Amino acid sequence: MSKHVVITSFLLGSLALVATTVAQTADSAVTPDRTIGLWNGKDLSNWVADVPKRDADPSLPASFVVRGGMLVSLGKPEGHLITKQAYRDYRLVAEYRFPGAGGNCGILIHASTPRALYKMFPKSIEVQMQSGNAGDFWCIQEDIAVPDMETRRPRKPTEKWGGAEGDARRILNLSDGSEKPLGEWNTMVVEARGDTVTVWVNGTLVNRGHGATASQGRIAVQAEGTEVEFRRIEIGPAAAAPAADPPILEYSSSGSGPAAAEFNRLMPHRAVQALLLDIARAPRDRAYVDAALRGTDVTAERLAAIGLIRQADSAYRLAFSLLTAEDRAVIRTAAEREGRLLAGYVLAHRQAIESLITEAKLPARDVKAAAFFLVGCVSLDWDGLNLVEDRKYLARGGEGEFIPSAWQPVPPEDVRRLYWGSHNYHDSLAVTTFGDHAAVPRVGLPDLFWGMKLAAPDPVQARARRAVEGLVRREATRVMLALRDGPKNLAGLAAAVGSEQELLKDMLALLASLDYVAESAGRYEARITVLDERDRGMVRQVRQLGRKAMERWADERYAALASELEALTPRKYGVPLSRSFYWVWHYIFGIANRELVAAGLFADPYDPGRRFQGFLPSVYKLNVVQGRF
C-alpha cells in the first residue's frame, strides 16, 4: 500500500471517528448525577480532537496537550477538543487563564455535527472566553434568544438573527468587568437546563438565554489562536431548580369567549410577557417578535388575533392596556391628589354617615368598622366601579366583549394602606374581607380556605375542599347573623341556627380564633360588622351619600385627570383610557380610603390591637347591599 493511501486512509478514519463521536443520537446524552472531571488530569482519553489543517498534514503539532498538570489549548492549529460523551441538564465548571497575551477561546455546548460552519466549527452554542468578552454567546448553526434582542444582538440591515454564515450570531453579555487580570485564574460556570443556558464568570451572572434550538450534545474546547490553560473542567448535576421567577407582568381580563381562554393560555409564558413589555416600550419588527417567541408555540398571529398587538408600518405595536412601572408611578402621583380630594368630598357627609350607622345599633357597636365596609368597600369600590362604567370612563367587558389588561407588579409595600381589595363569597349569605393587598393571605372568610390542602388526590381534593369550605362558611354566617340581635349563650345560639350545641362548639372556637366573636361568662357576641334585612334602609342611605361624593369628584375632576393621563403607554398606542381606568379608579379610591382612616371616619386595619392586620371582615345577607342606583 502506498504512503498516500495510508495517509488518506488514516485521515478518513480520523474524520469518521470525529463525525461518529460528535453526531451520535440524542438517546446517548446523559444527565450527570454526580460531579466528575471531564479532564482526568493525566491525558485526553475522554476527548477527541478535530483540527481541520491536520487532515492535509498530520505532522502538524497537536493543538491540545497536557502540561504541568493542566490541559492546554495551544491556540494553533485551530480546531476543537470534543468530549466523547454527550450531556444534557448539567452544570459545567471551568477554571482557565491566559498565561501570556489575551486572546480568543471558548467552550462550546450542545455540540453535534462537526465542521458545520466555515468548515471549522461544530454545530453548537459557544460560550465565549475571549479576554474582555467572557460570557458572550455565539450561535453556530444553533440559536438562542435573550431579552432585549435589539440591544444585545446587534445586526446590520441585511442580517437576520440566526446561526448560519451571514447571520447576526453574537449575543453580548450582561456585565463587563467580571474577568480577572490576564494571568490570573477565572472560573466560568455554565448551567444548561432544558432550552435555557445561564453563565456566570467569577460569580457574576453574565448571560442567560432561553429558547435554545438544542438542549443536549457534546462539550468542546476551542483552539482559536491564543494559548489558554485549564486546571479544572468538571460537569455535574444542574443546581436544584430555582424557585419560579416572579412574573414579569400580572394580567386579567373581563368578558368571556374563545379570546379570553386563549389569553389565559398565552399569558403565563414568560417569553410572551417579556415581549409585550418590550413592545410597550417601542414597536418591534417581525424578526424581533419571532426571536422573542422562539421555544414556545406562540406566534405573532396568535397575539394579534386576541388584540394584544397589531401590525402597522412593518412593526408590531401594543393594542391593549399594559401599564408599565412608570405608568403606575404616573397614576399614583395623580391619584394621591385625586384620592385626597375624593376623601374630602366624603368627609363633607361625615356627620350623616356616622349618625346613620350609630342609629342602626349594629352588634359590635363599631361605627368606624362599619363605615370602612359600607363606604370604603360597598360605596367607593363596588358602587364606584359601576359609576365610572356608567359614565363611560371605564370599559368592562360584557357579553361578547373581551377586554384584556396587564401591568407590571409593584412591591407589596407600595400598596400598603391603599384599601382597595375585597375578597368575597356571595350567595344569599355573604362574607367579605376588605383591605389592602400588602397583608395577604388574610386570616378570615372566605380567604381561610383558599390554600387549604387535604390528604387526597385531585379531583377528590378540590371537591372536598369546596364541600368543607361551603359547610363551614354557611354555618359561620348563620352563627354571625344570629348574633345580629345581640349576645347569646350556647343554647340560644343553637336554637337560633338549628344546630346541636356540641357541634356548635367547634364553630364558635374557630370564630373566636378569627376574632369574629368573643365569649364572656358563657355568652357570645359579634366583634365584626354584621348586617341583615333590618339594615337595608340604612345601607342604602349611606351608599347614596358615598355616591354624591363620587359624582362631585367625577363632575369636577375627571376631565382634567383624563388629559393628564394621556402620557400613559397605552394612550400613546391609541388604546382608550377606559381600558386602563380600572387601575386609575382603584388608586383613587384606595388612597381616599387611606385618608378616611387617617381622618378617623374609618377603623384602622393596622391598629396595634388587631390580631390580624391589613383588613376588616364583614358578614351580611347579600340582598342588603345589592342593587345599582
Range among 165-179, 252-266, 276-290 rated most confident: 276-290
Mean pLDDT of 466-483: 92
Per-residue pLDDT at 509 = 95
Q: Which pLDDT belongs to residue 22?
A: 42
Mean pLDDT over residues 540-562, rounded?
98
**Cell representation of residue 511:** 370564630
pLDDT of residue 578: 97
User: Which tops the pLDDT comparison, 350 or 255?
Assistant: 350
Per-residue pLDDT at 394 exceeds 80: yes
b vs e for 307-326, b when ≥16 Cβ sit within 10 Å of the residue's Cβ?
Answer: ebbebeeebbbbbbbbbbee
Q: Summarize pLDDT for 518-546 with one digit per residue, the tens.
A: 999 999 999 999 999 999 999 999 999 99
**Domains of the chain and any CATH numbers:** 3-237 (2.60.120.560), 250-319 (1.10.10), 325-624 (no CATH)
- Asked if the model's pLDDT at residue 241 lies above 70, the reply is no
Number of residues that make up the chain: 629
pLDDT at 11 (0 to 100): 37
Segment among 20-24, 242-246, 409-413, 458-462 with least mean pLDDT:
20-24
pLDDT for 469: 85
* Least confident segment among 17-31, 174-188, 524-538, 569-583: 17-31
- Mean per-residue pLDDT for 260-277? 90
Mean pLDDT of the chain: 90
Element (H, E) at 191: strand 186-193
pLDDT band at 410 (very low <50, low <70, confident <90, very high): confident
Q: How far is CA 89 from CA 21, 109, 223, 240, 460, in A?
A: 20, 11, 25, 11, 35
Distance CA 233, CA 147 (A): 29
CA distance 375 to 353: 9
Q: How confident is the model at residue 470 (pLDDT cuts 50, 70, 90)?
A: confident
pLDDT digits (tens, 9 = 90+) for 185-220: 999 999 999 989 999 998 888 999 988 999 999 999
Mean pLDDT of 401-414: 87
At what angle are helices 325-347 and 581-598 packed, to 10 degrees? 50
- Answer yes or no: are the C-beta atoms of 529 and 366 closer than 8 Å: yes
Across 312-321, 382-391, 453-462, least confident range: 453-462
pLDDT at 14 over 50: no
Strands 250-254 and 106-111: unpaired
CA distance 211 to 292: 8
pLDDT score at 243: 60
Instruction: Tell me how far apart the alpha carbons of residues 34 and 485 are, in angstroms, rounded to a whole number.
Output: 69
Confidence of residue 151 (pLDDT cuts 50, 70, 90): confident
Amino acid at 224: E
Which cell numbers hold the place of 614?
391589613
Q: Is the pLDDT of residue 25 over 50?
A: no
pLDDT at 526: 97
In the predicted structure, residue 119 carries a pLDDT above the cut 70: yes
Which whole number is the average pLDDT over 347-358? 98
Return d(Cα 202, Cα 188) in angstroms, integer.
6
Asked if pLDDT for residue 336 goes beyond 60, the answer is yes
Q: What is the pLDDT of residue 610?
A: 92
Q: Cα(248)–Cα(242) distance, rounded to whole angstroms?
A: 16
**With 0-12 CB in 10 A as exposed, 13-18 as middle and 19+ as buried, what is 150?**
middle
- pLDDT above 80: residue 150: no
Q: Quote the pLDDT of residue 7.
A: 32
pLDDT reported for residue 18: 44
- The CA distance from 627 to 457, in Å, is 41
- Strands 90-97 vs 186-193: parallel, antiparallel or unpaired: antiparallel
